[in-house]
Structure 1
Amino acid sequence: MSNSITTCPLGQHCIQHSSHPHLLLLVDTTDTIYKGVNVRCFACRSKSSPSESSDGGVYYGCNRCEYFLHKQCIDQLPQEIQTSHHPNHNRLFLLMKRHKYCKCSTCGNTDKDALYFECPQCDFQLCLECGVSGGTRTIKYEDHPHLLSFMEKINNAVEQCNAYTCLKQSIMCNTEEFHKTNSSKFQCLDCDFKLHLLCGPLPSIIKHDSHMHSLDLVDLFIEDNSGEYYCDVCEEERNPRIRVYCCRKCKYIAHVHCVISEVINVLKGDLRDVKLKVLGEDLWEFPKEIDHAASPLTLRDLIHKLTHQDEIHFLKNHFNWDEGDEVSTTTTEVEPEDDNIDEVLKFSNLTEFDFLLFIFGEFYSTFNKRKLRIKSSDLAWTLIDIKGYSIPLYLASPMKALLHKYGDISRGGGRRYIQSSSLIQDITPRRYYSQELKSMGFFFVCKVMKEMHTTLVIDITKHLLQQWHHYLYFVEGADFNVDFLMASLENITINFYYQQVSKVLHMNFPMKIEKKKDAMQKKMAELQKKIEEYNAGLEKRKELHESSRKEKSMKQGLENAMKVNWKLASDIRLLNKSLYKV
């Protein structure tokens, strides 16, 4: 739409602007009709000209609505734009938003009485700053099919982060380090996919004034075995689970939030020659020729495509899942650091050999008796095609690494079991399994691999080991050869045994035992008090029993109560009218 000046019927110069339904007339601020009128530019919110120019303070406006725009603002503001932030629809149009609060779809800022670029086909809208300046940089994130936008200093914190490691360990996002960077985020503007700044793609190398050398982004940097780790910038404690910038040569370590100024400068600048590093990117090695193609399916769709009844039965024997389309926002939390004293003591009384016999027997028994839940958040993941198998996008790297190192492990070498009543029967492997069931098998294998590569030893729990065994028992039954992964899991389980034994030897363990004893004694005191209350109740019962036989009013009241048990409340009449005599 053009901003060209035309002549109105009254002989005045006027402009038809997309932001307003009425014609905007050339304003003569010296005219008496503008006396007492707040002539103020609706775009730049200024009474004066936005800059020194030949236009001076020239306005066009609608007197009836008291809506005015500088001529210079009109010339500079496009009435419609196209943006990479909203690629699915065509153009956004400049509109006036008056008498209501509007929220920018990129920066999240809200404003009242402002101009916004709005999509006529959906609710997407941009504030002037984001619309004119481009607002944010779009960034490719390998675990999501759409481009992400970096948003600095938004008003609303990220309530749900879709990064796999953050979903798996909510203990990470409860740290002070997360709170200090929570005003910035990465967001997909085509869907509801969001990432914390610390979980998203960050510059792999930065140069900061705090150190003479360049700093590398690392997911995990443990300089010693002290168990106490600090930032060299602020000299405050840091959580080793959270990525940092460091100089390996000097062992200089910095919180991300301590060098955030440089990180944000890079993210807001030209990213064409900048290497961004995704969390966990350096864990996997595979040739770049192993490519993948997008798929319109989700993991839930893949399950629905299973047609062989024995395969469906096999999957349902060991897993359950939501059949609907809703996506759960529940996350799996790391178990608290307060150890299970009883379990630790039990394990410490076993030898390594006896522990393995016990734990593996329990895991296999649980596999045959209980189902593991496939979370709705996993079911909603978009799938990609890798070598003919449909895999959730966030598992692309472990899948490629698996194929590169071990080949197609679904082609035999495993064992298959079926469950008949209470018996587990080892049967001859089938010659053929559907591609859908194999894809489910690869999903479970890659899920175990991803979790093994992103879980600190200190965070491993019996429950997590049990889950990993459950997944691998299932894929073995589907004729996968996962001997290499089972061997790793056995070593991890052995290490878990010694981790538990070491807790008994720790100097704080007696204190934990005493704390447990104190809690039990407090509970025993509460139970003893309850026993005394019950004894008093029995004595009271005896008294009531005697009075119900001797006292006429008590006897009559009890008889009346029995008579009305099966009547409606509204049918009860006054049984003792004498109580209501005036």
Structure 2
Amino acid sequence: MIKEKIENHPFHPNHSLILTDDHNMERCSTCSRTSFSSHVYQCEEYPECKFRLCRECSSVEPNIDYPGHQHKLCFMEKTEEEDVECDADDGYCKRDFVCDELDRTAYSSILRCVPCNFNIVHLLCGPLPRSIRYEYHMHPLVLTPSVIDSDNNHHESQDEDDEYYCDICEDTRDERICVYYCADCKFVAHVHCLIPQITSALTGSVEDQDLILLSTSSGSDDTDDQVDKNDMTLMDLIQNLTKEDKETFEEHFYWHTSNNVVFDSTCGESHGRQPEKYIFPHSPADLDNQVYKFDTYCNFRRLKLDTNDLEVKVVTVKNYKVAWYLRNVLKSLLEKHGDVIDEESKLSGDMKSLAFHFLCRVIYDKDRTRRRDITEELIREWYGYLKFVRRMGLRIMFLYEQLEKIKRDFVSQIPIRLESEIPNELHQKKSRLQKQIEKVDTDLDKCKEYSSRSSGVRLRLSDYSYGDDEASKLMQGTAEKNA
């Protein structure tokens, strides 16, 4: 039976919805469709309210938890929107690489909180079933962060140039992306190759499904229920700092928000990859000299914080607050190294939390970045974060030792980059600049052409100009008419 009126619908909880037969309404506020096969609901209490709900969406219930959002999300198989941004706090779409696998899971379905307009548009960025059944494989397939297995690889040795494949479509796959995997049979499958099975699981009773979030964890799917989630964001932590602490914090970071933090004019465009700054190391002494030049050239200044990153929700782990997607990193850090801050530290709780957040951020980024994707800019950013962490008194020598190895390895690869990678980048930059120059030259030629054609027929303005007395009389006459 069709309900004529809906009270407290989760998509529009504050107002009642009434059924109407007006099919010429604006699009449904949930699925964005503009054509309806039957009646639609609209807000009863406020006619100017533009919330619309089609009958198909009226039966959808939010039932999926997402740790970065305070409300449950609903799974929708199809929407008519293709310009919605993915709001996953630190999903695959927020990482610094382009991935075809990510695009193949976009917009075929969407996880959405309608009241908040919070959307996860990539299937890979949201919670997925821990295991699923595939009709052409005898064992359950388990969601796994990454699978690198020589038995599943078409090369004899494993290195960063190896290619890995999906056993369903037999196409290549990115080893950084989570997959469904059978360890017994070494069977690996893209997530997007199992969309029908995943959709079936998410549209059914999710209470019977074990959903986990791998897109934001560092190789761990552990979601400790004792972690105390709250509604605070990183920006809230910063705003809660005392005046003295905030001044200290702003010596290391800047950002663009309503509080008008001054832009750091010293943080201009990075020129850290200019080849003339480097030498070719032929001996250990040369390598040491080059590392020194690298350190000298990388004069770490204030780091710019992305405003979107500052709006990420934080959770409390062992009295420290970090971005929710870093909770497993912090737990692992405390288990392995203990509390790396002195008990007698006089830092405020918020400053301690910010220090641990950036420490975990470096560990998180370091662990998920492949060797070939490391850049000077990235190393500079890591050291910039740790400069603040070390000033806060955290004992992080273990991480400095790891970054020192990464830095020396990066520097040792510079001669190879100077042979191909950097020249290619400079040629591309030269090509872009050449196109800009050609455009400017074209505009200049147009100016010359127009000037040449119009010079013979240019009006002689002196023949039509008024003298001073005539102009005054004309202006006075106009003023009298307007009076």
Please indicate the TM-score interval, normalised by the length of the shorter structure: 0.7 to 0.9
Contact in 2 for aligned 1:94/1:117 (Cα 8 Å) = yes
Structure 1, unmatched stretches of 5+, are: 1-74, 327-338, 413-429, 530-556, 558-570, 577-582
Task: Identify which of structures 1 and 2 has the higher relative contact order when contacts are C-alpha pairs closer than 8 Å and 6+ apart.
Answer: 2
Q: What are the Cα deviations for residues 176-209 of structure 1, in whole angstroms up to 9, with x where unaligned?
A: 5523543212222232332211111111211112
| Superimposed CA distance per residue, residues 514-541 of structure 1 (whole angstroms, 9 cap, x where no aligned partner) | 8689879999999xx9xxxxxxxxxxxx
Confirm or deny that 1:144 pairs with 2:144. no
- 8 Å contact from structure 2 (residues 20, 42) kept in 1: no
Match of 2:219 among 283, 286, 295: 283
Question: Structure 1 380/451 Cα, relative in aligned 2: closer, same or farther at 3 Å?
Answer: same
Contact 1:181–1:197 at 8 Å: present in 2 too? yes
| 2:173 maps to 1:247 | no
Structure 1 residues 468, 277: closer, same or farther in 2, change over 3 A?
same
Partner in structure 2 of residue 157 of structure 1: 82
Amino acid at match of 1:342: P
Distance 1:521 1:186, change over 3 A: closer
**What is aligned with 1:96?**
20
SS of equivalent residue, structure 2 residue 206:
coil
d(CA) in 2 for partners of 1:287 and 1:242?
Answer: 19
- 2:193 equivalent in structure 1: 258
Per-residue CA distance 1:277-324 (angstroms, 9 max, x = gap) = 2124463498948x3334443322322222242x22222222111232
- Are 1:494 and 2:420 counterparts? no
**Aligned mates of 2:309, 2:251 — CA distance in 1:** 19
Gaps of 5+ in 2: 151-157, 261-271, 439-454, 466-483
Q: Where does residue 329 of structure 1 map in the other structure?
A: none
Structure 1 residues 392 and 190, CA gap change in structure 2 (3 angstroms): farther
Q: CA RMSD in A?
A: 3.9
Report how far residue 215 of structure 1 moved: 1.5
Per-residue CA deviations over 1:74-125 (Å, capped at 9, x if unaligned) read: x443532544x43x82564233162534333333333258523345476544
Please give the per-residue CA displacement for 1:239-284, whole angstroms capped at 9, x wherever unaligned: 3332222223332222222121111111111122321121244634
Alignment partner of 1:458 out of 372, 380, 383: 372
Query: For structure 1, which segment, 312-321 or 295-304, has the greater mean C-alpha deviation from structure 2 after superposition?
Result: 295-304
Cα separation, 2, equivalents of 1:516 and 1:388: 46
1:491–1:82 Cα change, 3 Å: same
SS of the residue aligned with 2:68? coil
Residue 104 of structure 2 corresponds to which residue in structure 1?
179
Matches of residues 52-131 of structure 1 in structure 2 within 5 Å?
75-77=1-3, 79-83=5-9, 85-86=10-11, 89=13, 92-96=16-20, 98=22, 100-111=24-35, 114-119=38-43, 120=45, 123-131=50-58
Amino acid at match of 1:465: I
Question: Following the alignment from structure 1 to structure 2, what is the Cα–Cα distance between the partners of residues 171 and 315?
Answer: 30
Note if 1:395 corresponds to 2:284.
no
Higher radius of gyration, 1 or 2: 1
**Deviations for 1:475-516, whole angstroms, at most 9, x for unmatched residues?**
111112122222222233233335545657xxxx56x68868
Matching of residue 359 in structure 1 with residue 284 in structure 2: no
Contact 1:245–1:255 (8 Å) recurs in 2: yes
Q: Is this contact kept in 2: 1:283–1:453, CA < 8 A?
A: no
1:264-343 matches, within 5 Å, as 264-279=199-214, 280-281=216-217, 283-284=219-220, 288=224, 291-309=226-244, 311-324=245-258, 342=275
Q: Which residue of 2 aligns with 1:550?
A: none
Whether 1:380 aligns to 2:311 is yes
SS class of match (1:141): coil
TM-score, normalised by the number of residues in structure 1: 0.62
- Is the Cα contact below 8 Å between 1:100 and 1:113 reproduced in 2? no
CA distance in 1, matches of 2:335, 2:176: 28
**Larger CA deviation: 401-410 vs 456-465:** 401-410
Cα gap change, 1:486/1:165 in structure 2, threshold over 3 Å: closer, same or farther? farther
Q: Is the 8 A contact 1:139 1:150 kept in 2?
A: yes
SS in 2 for 1:272: helix
CA distance in 2, matches of 1:165, 1:515: 31
Query: Within 2, Cα distance between the matches of 1:284 and 1:150?
Result: 24
8 Å CA contact 1:81, 1:131 repeated in 2: no
What amino acid is aligned across from residue 254 of structure 2 in structure 1? N
How many Å apart are 1:375 and its aligned residue? 0.9
Give the Cα separation in 2 of the matches to 1:287 and 1:154.
Answer: 30
> Shift of the alpha carbon at 1:472?
0.5
Match of 2:362 among 448, 459, 475: 448
| Aligned CA distance change for structure 1 residues 212 and 315 (closer, same or farther; 3 Å) | same
Give the Å deviation of 1:343: 7.6
- Equivalents in 1 of 2:8, 2:302: separation in Å? 50
